[in-house]
Amino acid sequence: SYVLTQPPSVSVAPGKTARITCGGNNIGSKSVHWYQQKPGQAPVLVIYYDSDRPSGIPERFSGSNSGNTATLTISRVEAGDEADYYCQVWDSSSDLHVVFGGGTKLTVL
Amino acid sequence: EVQLVQSGAEVKKPGESLKISCKGSGYSFTSYWIGWVRQMPGKGLEWMGIIYPGDSDTRYSPSFQGQVTISADKSISTAYLQWSSLKASDTAMYYCARGVITGTTHWFDPWGQGTLVTVSS
């Protein structure tokens, strides 16, 4: 089955840029989606189709995907961005199977 | 507003059965898939399976096939996740989420608030 690899943690100072990676074999050929989960809350979609933002998600959130790595970029990081972030793809080689990455804890210093 | 509202927290003993629910509103319930996701304490998200309420087409993750049953009642816009015999290892938060599926990909938006299931003797 398809495996997505994320770093367990990323730290960034307020106002700086955070980059969270999601690695997978030829992930650039798939569409990647990203979710934010704050403590005690349900996940929220922040990026879909590699780089599209749902309504209500700040422009500070952006995404890219190429080769074996997809990246979620958060510009001008705020304290409220501290959360777990998960990448997700659809493994089209199996029957509607969804795959999540292991998650990355973003800490705002 | 598109919304998924899940049933409340449950405390059960090993061996007991359980059915939790997820009610959709603000959209055509029969036109979107509903997925279920497990999150064990302090851990990440695990996809369990998905159902299309329009025709009850259901798919399971191999990790959960045979362990749970996913169903839906389109007349009341509600999806269900059920266990016939709970184990302590089923203790987790369970989320439902609306699945948006195109020809080439699939994502979840929005998510329910979660149902905490605790299994303990």
Give per-residue pLDDT as tens, A29-88: 999 999 999 999 999 999 999 999 999 999 999 999 999 999 999 999 999 999 999 999
Is the confidence at residue B12, as pLDDT, over 90? Answer: yes
Among A29, A31, A98, which Cα is nearest to A67's? A29
Give the pLDDT score at A79: 96
Measure the CA angle with vertex B83, ends A102 and B18; round to 5°: 110
Closest to A46 in 3D by CA, of A67, A66, A61: A61
What residues of chain B have any CB closer than 8 angstroms to a CB in chain A?
A: 35, 37, 44-47, 50, 59, 61-62, 95, 97, 100-101, 104-114
Residues with Cβ within 8 Å of residue B102, at least 6 apart in sequence: none
Mean of the pLDDT values across residues B86-100?
Answer: 97
Say if residue B45's pLDDT is above 80. yes
Q: How far apart are the C-alpha atoms of B27 and B99, rounded to whole Å?
A: 12
Question: What is the Cα–Cα distance from A43 to B107, expressed in whole angstroms?
Answer: 12
Chain A positions in Cβ-Cβ contact with residue B42 (cut-off 8 Å): none
Model confidence band, residue A94 (pLDDT cutoffs 50, 70, 90): low
The residue ranking higher by pLDDT, B105 or A41, is A41
Using CB atoms, pick whichever of A84, A86, A90 lies closest to residue B106. A90
Helix (H) or strand (E) holding A62: strand A61-66
Sole residue written with tokens 């036109």: B31
